[in-house]
Each structure stands twice: as C-alpha cells, then as structure tokens.
Amino acid sequence: MIYCFDIDGTICTLTFNSSYEKAQPFPEMLKKINSLYDEGHRIIFFTARGCTSGIDHTDLTLRQLEEWGVKYHELIMNRKPHYDLLVDDKAINVEDFKRATGLK
C-alpha cells in the first residue's frame, strides 16, 4: 500500500509564521510510520511548505526527516502526489488514523 503523509500538523507540530525549523516531531507517529515502512509499504511525505511564500524549504525538510529518524521513499514539495491512503491534518483526521492503527 502507498501511504502519503502531510508533514506539518501530522508528523510534527505546526509552527507559526513559517518557522519550520522550530517544528518538533511526534515520536509515536514516526514510530508507526517506520513500522509501516518495515512492513513493506511505500511511504511518501508531502508538504506545502513555501507554497505561498516561494521560499524553498526542501533542504530544511530533508534535514529534519533525517534528524527525526523517519523512514520514507519520497518527499514531495508543492505538488499533489499519487497515493492509496492520504493522512493529513486537513483531509483524513490524523487522530482517526492514530486510533485506527493503535496509537494513542
């Protein structure tokens, strides 16, 4: 299965005024994503970071994902990806995903 996760508000805290460098990861979400990866699922992250400002946050985002130790196959910046299941703070409620997969 292809899992597609939004970043801000889904796997890390939301920040204000595009202060993405201050985002803090949600450890239980990252653990669950790593488990899905290890089970053979395809993991895609996407974000609209910089979409309205025109600032390229790719390097920062890649660095954060590495520092947080999360496993993934692809990072998509500023375009809609193909997926089987979308987990986003605006589309499918991240809290419903947590309950459905046994996270608290």
Identify the structural domains of the chain with CATH numbers, from first to last: 2-100 (3.40.50.1000)
Q: What is the pLDDT of residue 79?
A: 74
61-75 b/e (C-beta count within 10 Å ≥ 16 → b) = beebbeebebebeeb
Give the separation between CA 42 and CA 63, rounded to whole angstroms.
20
- Note the pTM of the prediction, 2 decimals: 0.78
pLDDT for 81 = 63
Q: Where are the beta strands (DSSP E) in the chain?
A: 2-6, 42-47, 74-77, 85-87
Q: How many C-alpha atoms does 46 have within 13 Å on its Cβ side?
A: 20
pLDDT at 103: 79
**pLDDT truncated to tens, each residue of the chain (104 aa)?**
999 898 999 999 988 877 999 999 999 999 999 999 999 999 999 898 887 788 899 999 999 999 999 999 999 998 766 677 777 665 666 777 788 788 77
